[in-house]
Chains A and B, each alone.
Chain A
Amino acid sequence: MKKYIYYPGCSLERNASAYNDSTLAIAEPLGMEYQEVDDWNCCGAVEFIAVDKMQAYALTTRNLALAEQQLSNGEQMVAPCSACFLNLSKCDAYLTASPDLAGKINQALAAGGMHYTPGRVHTRHLLDVIVNDVGYDAIAEKVKKPLYDLRIAPYYGCLIVRPGFLDKFDDPEYPTSLDNLMRTLGGTVVDFPMKAHCCGGHMTQISDEIALNLINNLLKNAADYGADVIATICPMCQLNLDAYQKDVNKALGTNYNIPILYFTQLIGLAMGLSADELGFGKEIIDAAPALAKIGVKPPKKARKARPSKEALPMPTMPEEE
């Protein structure tokens, strides 16, 4: 068992819980053991740095400092979310490059009795770890139900391949690691020239017109090449392509119906795990027809939202000026 420190990030707690479930479900069979960062906080996404630089870096560094406390034998940290991966690795790279910034951030951390040594915690994306640490051969040995007949568009999005602050594990323009992984699972990988283009990120909240066009570009590209599903490695990409697909159809007069699945869900299916334990049924564009193509039964019913044990009371609306 290879040990890793695990940073799930806010999305994986709820909106991308299917990603979390499937990541944890395939860990043991792939020989990976995770220890979650205790009491981790938000990585800052792309919003915090737009408001306060020093706070944004202190926020991200608190997670690195927590992970540093948990290190026992040089483990690396794994982040399944591309934005968390980018923030954690970029923060560490900038703190290492700038002793001035590192000094100031450690001064802020000291107010909470914490400290981080730049360079101590190496953060990697889950895809990198799966293809390079576990490796294609070991995965191929675990494949029990190959995904023959499933036409997969491998979607990387941006932040996992660009700009590559710590590791450049794949090409920033035309990455191929996820393609090879999907082929290892027996899937048919379709050509997907837009595989490293942007899903729109937070633009869905800021400008419908820009965001829906960016999403449309990707869906059209996948549809043109006859993809049954798009395999994704990021909760933001999944959310934009899945939850806004109906809006794209409505606004642009298209008729897409492409399920957006996490690559970990597809690994799990190929390893013979059930659709239930891999978080299927939470996607908005129903994956059942695609699952039927490879002889997998969809889960009986979608799980309902249940308030979590840690849930707080409903917040009140802040006063607007």
Chain B
Amino acid sequence: MTVDASLKEVSSSAATVPRRTFLQEVIEDTPGSDPRFEMCIQCGTCGGSCPSGPDMEYSPRRIFAMIEANMREEVLKANTFWYCVSCYYCMARCPQEVHITDLMYTLKRKAIREGYCRESSASDAPDFSEYFVDAVLKYGRSFELGLATRYHLRHHPLGAVKMATGMGLDMLRRGRMDLTPRRIKNLDQLQAIMAKAEEIGRVEREQGGIR
């Protein structure tokens, strides 16, 4: 075998894309120009500012340290990002201007794709997001009653009863909840765009070696 041929064999048998550290992977999977994740100085301002910080297994500061340490599985099983309320206090206060809230979304997507979200103590939360997405893909707009019914029947049957007799009834009585969904006119167009976007995202991850 020539040197050239053996090199070819090595490169085709190994993954065609170099293995990424967990930090590189989350950076590349986050939208915007530069999320600045590697700039974290472990000051803890994020955790101290977080309204649900006390209920998180690991504070956002600690999640950054764990990502740096390549603790992929522990990070993706955490409830931290599922308890994020998207208030952006961490991002507004971060002295290093790290896009902390965007990291939480990236970790949610990875935990869903890789199935780790089922092992999190906040295991109901992914379904809420996924059911929301289903309704929007189907109608183009959100459908609160359908989403709440499907989610609560699956996860909190008692909550569904409470909703139907308490707050849900109050909302219906005051004309604040649609019984049926509303659909946009050009749904075919939206669905074609969504199908293409899904494909582009998938190819981007494959080419970038992002799980």
- A-side residues, CB < 8 A to B, are 10, 13-17, 39-42, 44-55, 57-59, 62, 93-94, 97-98, 101, 104-105, 107-114, 158-159, 162-164, 172-173, 197-198, 200-203, 205-207, 209-210, 214, 243-244, 246-247, 281-284, 302-308, 310-315, 317-318, 320
Contact = CB atoms under 8 A, between A and B. Distances in A.
B74 interface: no
A39 B185 contact: yes
B200 interface: yes
Interface in B106-136: 106, 108-109, 112, 122, 124-126, 128-130, 132-134, 136
A109 B55 CA distance: 40
B70 interface: no
B48 interface: no
Given A311-B178, A312-B180, A207 B55 contact: yes
Interface string B7-41: 00000000000000000000001011100000000
Contacts of B45: none
A43 B195 CA distance: 17
B170 interface: yes
Interface residues of B, number: 78
A293 to B, nearest CB: 22
Overall SS of chain B's interface: helix
A15 B89 contact: no
A17 B176 contact: yes
A310 B179 contact: no
Given A40-B184, A47-B128, A55 B52 contact: no
A15 B176 contact: yes
Contacts of B92: 162-164, 172-173
Given A50-B112, A305-B173, A313-B180, A158 B89 contact: yes
A54 B51 contact: no
Nearest to B56: A210
Given A57-B31, A112-B192, A158-B88, A15 B198 contact: no
A198 B179 contact: no
B200 A50 contact: no
B197 A247 contact: no
B150 A317 contact: yes
B201 A54 contact: yes
Given A57-B31, A101-B31, A114-B189, A14 B177 contact: yes
B47 interface: no
Contacts of A317: 149-150, 153
B31 A305 contact: no
A16 B175 CA distance: 10
Q: Which of B86, B134, B200 has the most CB of A within 10 A?
A: B86
